[in-house]
Structure 1
Amino acid sequence: MDLDIHNDSTDSTECVDVEQTTWVADILRNRRRIQVLIELDSVGEDGISLGSLADRLAERDHSPDFTPGERKRIYIVLHQCHIPRLSIDNVVNRRRDLITPGSRYSDVLSALLRLQR
């Protein structure tokens, strides 16, 4: 079987869809990033402070009686790992302490909602 590697008839949108699917899957692979998306969805376009986000996630993970240490661990991992990653991918915007939806936020949220069905 001969393959014509010079044939340019490949549908370029197919490649974009594969890249989009891979990129979104990578974002949604982490439980903490999913929690960030859910919390951001609940507060809307106005966003949420990083401290309030850490409080909400600590309460979700450890009940309303979470310790300062539990909150601090969540704050640090959000600050050092998850928010920068989501920001680089334009899923969120971070201005000082405020986290708001980024330009690609709706793409990732839509994928998450489809997975949760």
Structure 2
Amino acid sequence: MSTKETGSNGPSTQSIEEPEADNNADDDIEAAESSAETQLSLDLIFEVLKNRRRREVIRYLREHEQQVTLSDLAEHIAALENDTDIASITSSQRKRVYVGLYQCHLPKMADMEIVEFNQNRGIVDLGPNAPQLYEYLDNDDAGGRKWYKYYIGISAFGVGLFLLTVVFGQPALLQTAALGGLCVAIAAASVLQTVSERDTNE
């Protein structure tokens, strides 16, 4: 905008500059919005955590606190699933986990911003929403260690039955009953553990 003034020396033009718009506030708002994590619903959180491979992805990334390759991640999870070390896993075991992570699990977790997944480079990192799952993941870790308590209880049950055979003095009958009961208890606990782990593997 400009105004013209007329003086003794003739007309002159004096430019008055308008103040520039302050864009700093808008920039701050956009930065805050982009950095703010999206609150995940409990349904989405449990949908992610119900699968063992997804849980292991978060654990692995959380432990390393840096970008990892999809190959290293697949090898780690394959070794866990097959109860062996990385050097002993077969190519088919590794490939099965690799394909599952690449095609299904990582893209789904990336959509929720739980991980950042660069498919072209095969790089995986934690996303901004990952910390929302830590509380439930830690509780799951504690629950996953409950099986040893069951087996301790079974052992105590077997010892108790054995002591009964000593106290009542009928070793043949009671020992048979004790052995049968102990076998049934161990078999039941083993089946429950196997089913529980299998359901969360795929």
1:25 to 46, 63, 66: 46
1:102 to 120, 124, 127: 127
Query: CA 1:47–1:110 in 2, change beyond 3 Å: closer, same or farther?
Result: farther
What CA distance in whole angstroms lies between the structure 1 residues aligned with 2:136 and 2:94?
Answer: 28
Q: CA RMSD in A?
A: 1.6
Which sections of structure 2, spanning at least 5 residues, go unmatched?
Answer: 1-38, 143-202
- Matched position secondary structure for 1:111: helix
Matching of residues 39-78 of structure 1 within 5 Å: 39-44=60-65, 46-62=66-82, 63-64=84-85, 65-78=88-101
Which position in structure 2 is the counterpart of 1:116? 141
What CA distance in whole angstroms lies between the structure 1 residues aligned with 2:43 and 2:108?
Answer: 15
Aligned length: 99
The worse-fitting range, judged by mean Cα deviation, of 72-81 and 61-70 is 61-70
Which position in structure 1 is the counterpart of 2:162? none
Structure 1 residue ranges (4+ consecutive) displaced by more than 2 angstroms after TM superposition: 114-117
Q: Name the amino acid aligned to 1:51.
A: S
Which position in structure 2 is the counterpart of 1:10? none
Could you give the per-residue CA deviations for residues 67-91 of structure 1, whole angstroms, max 9, x where no partner exists?
0111011100000000001001100
TM-score by length of structure 1 reads: 0.77
Which sections of structure 1, spanning at least 5 residues, go unmatched?
Answer: 1-16
Percent identical residues: 25
